[in-house]
Amino acid sequence: MYKRILVPLDGSELAERILPHVTAIAKATGAKVLLLRATDPRHGSIAAEAATEARKWLEADQAQAARYLEGVAKRLKDAGVPTKLEVLLGEPAVEILTAAEKENVDLIAVMSHGVTGLSHFDTGSVAQKVLKGATRPVLLVRAFRTLLKHLDEQEVWSIKA
Q: Give the CA-trace dihedral at 5, 6, 11, 12, to 10 degrees.
A: -60
Q: What pTM was computed for the model?
A: 0.78
pLDDT tens over the chain, length 161 residues:
899 999 999 998 889 999 999 999 999 999 999 999 998 776 554 455 567 777 788 888 899 999 999 999 999 999 999 999 999 999 999 999 999 999 999 999 999 875 444 444 444 588 989 999 999 999 999 876 544 455 555 554 454 44
Closest to 22 in 3D by CA, of 39, 45, 6: 6
Domains, the chain, in order of start with CATH, read 4-160 (3.40.50.620)
Which residues, 6 or more positions from 125, have their beta carbon under 8 angstroms from its beta carbon? 112, 113
Q: Please give the pLDDT value at position 151.
A: 54
SS3 89: strand
**Beta bridge mates, 4:** 32
